[in-house]
Amino acid sequence: MSKRYLMRLGKTPFEAVDAFHTLDRNTLGTNNGNLVYGAASHKLFSTRDTVVDANRYKINAAMADRVNDEYDGFILPLANAFRPEFENELLRTAQFLERLTIPFLMLSGGAQLPPDGDPASLRKMEPTIRRFARAVLDGSSKLSVRGEMSAAYLRSLGFDDVVVVGCPSMTLHGPGHRVEVPDTLQPGAPIAYNLETKDPFGGDLIEDAEHNYLATYLPQEHGTLELMLWATAPYSEADLRLPLDSSHQQFASGQAEFYLDAYPWIDRLAEMDFSFGARAHGNIAAVLGGTPCVMLAHDSRTFELARYHGIPYVVRGTEPLPATVQELYALADFSEFNRGHTERFQRLSDFIHENGFEHIYDPGQESARAHYEARIRRIDFPPPVRPTWQDRPADVAHRHAVLQERSNRQKQQQAQLRRDLGRLKAHSNDQLAQLTERVDQAEKRAAAAVRRAEAAEQRATRAEKKLAAIDKRVAKVSAEAQRATDRSQRAVRVPTRLRGLISRLRP
């Protein structure tokens, strides 16, 4: 008998979507790193006679009844879910989970914190995080998280049922995956790098990569995809060494590549000799391709993932960043990754089994795995996106950029309206819940008062009956007393004839 699971994904790995529809439909979830852990999660649960569908990132309480009717389980892969920008989504997810009756599990998640783990930025959303955590634990054995910092944060909120399983991306090739590191990186070798565009850094490294190696920038965020498709200017950055403007040589020469699917991206990184950058899944994709990399950790999400999985890293702000690629390559030690990967895989496997699910690397699933991998090989994935505006006249490219920026502003305004509406709705729901609770409490108090009144009436009725019985007894006793009095009086009364006799005998 076949099973159907629903999974939180923008699309399944079997769906090939072109760049323009990818951008318009947001199948990436704003960043193609989601494709990597999504692809691994989808494969992991595609066991024999099982179909795994994508929810297209749509989730709310209203759809829970349909999901309960149509599916046998729900899988929730997450990344840095505990962050202010994700609060509305987290709340909707909690409301959805609260109404699920089918088995489900949270397949890892994490808190986005600074490297020192200070949770101050999450204080305001802690009620939502607590509600989400309770909803997960109502249907699953534990909260699974990406690393120890996220686990410590949840424990600080009072949730002790937490297990660290890392990122599900690492399961893509099973428990035997390894990364071998050559002793040297030759000048001019093909290398890749990625960039955190919201907080860009690493100008010295990127400059060295551009000058001394065959470097390819592999961007990950929607903003850069728009830049490559429409020549927009989504970023403002003074360091011209960083690929944040269409004038950068990575875009001007058509060297940069944006991947719309996980498998071609991983295959491309397998052709590289080295990769580095601040994006977690940009580096994980390199690991899955068997390519040495170094993570430029800059927050808890990158730091805890690299530390847990044994991926080489340097932490921005706590130690000097290497200035050259060669210095960085010298840090690419994968001995801990190779030593502990099987153990870490088993820990996630145990968690999956503990919650009643199977996975594709279980014994007996070899045919399912072979079928899945063959199906992936048959897919005609779209090529990586390169700048589309290089051969256009400058005025045409500018016109397209202006129109796209205008469209973006409209989308942002609409998104802000949706967020505002969501907040208002959440506030109204909270007020309604509070009012409902107060009404419930008032009804309970009124019901208690009615019960007390009824009890008092019953006591009064019993007292009246007792009083009536007492009155009867008093009347009876009074009558008996009256009769006794009468008898006494008759007993002491001098007979009339005797009184007359006595009167005559007196002188």
Q: How confident is the model at residue 411 (pLDDT cuts 50, 70, 90)?
A: low
The rounded percent of the chain whose pLDDT value lies above 70 is 92
Read off the pTM: 0.81
Lowest mean pLDDT across 165-179, 340-354, 410-424: 410-424
Q: Give pLDDT, residue 505.
A: 63
Q: Which two tokens stand for residue 409?
A: 């502003």
The pLDDT of residue 471 is: 81
Cβ within 8 Å of residue 264, ≥6 positions away: 381, 383, 384
Is the pLDDT at 310 greater than 60? The verdict is yes
Asked if 100 and 74 count as a contact pair (C-beta separation under 8 A), the reply is yes
For position 94, what pLDDT does the model report?
98
DSSP annotation string for 103-144: -EEEE---B---TT---GGGGGGHHHHHHHHHHHHHHSS-EE
pLDDT above 90 for 318: no
- Over 70: is that where the pLDDT of 143 sits? yes
pLDDT single digits (tens) 94-110 = 999 999 999 999 999 99
SS3 (DSSP) at 69: helix
Residue 499: predicted pLDDT? 60
Give the model confidence (pLDDT) of 182-200 as tens digits. Answer: 999 999 999 999 999 999 9
Residue 461 pLDDT: 85
Q: What digits encode the pLDDT tens for the residues 172-183?
A: 999 999 999 999
Q: 483-502, pLDDT tens digit by residue? A: 877 777 776 655 555 566 55
Which pLDDT belongs to residue 401?
Answer: 63
In the predicted structure, residue 436 carries a pLDDT above the cut 90? no
What mean pLDDT, rounded, does the chain reach?
91
pLDDT band at residue 1 under the 50/70/90 scheme = low
List, for residues 232-254, the tens digit of each pLDDT value: 999 987 799 999 999 999 999 99
> How much of the chain, in percent, has pLDDT values that exceed 90?
73
| Closest-CA residue to 296 (of 321, 272, 273) | 321
Q: Assess whether pLDDT exceeds 80 at residue 160.
A: yes
Question: Of residues 446 and 260, which shows the higher confidence score?
Answer: 260
- Tokens 């470097």 sit at which residue? 215
What pLDDT score was predicted for residue 459? 87
Give the pLDDT mean for 292-300.
96
Query: What value does the mean pLDDT take over residues 52-56?
Result: 97
The two structure tokens encoding residue 15? 């769906």
Sign of CA dihedral 100, 103, 106, 107: negative
Q: Considering only 299-303, 376-380, 415-419, which range has the smallest mean pLDDT?
A: 415-419
The residues, any chain, with a CB within 8 Å of residue 114's CB and separated by 6 or more, are 121, 299, 300
Measured in whole angstroms, how far is the alpha carbon of residue 322 from the centre of its chain? 34
Q: What is the pLDDT of residues 58-71, one digit of tens each?
A: 999 999 999 999 99
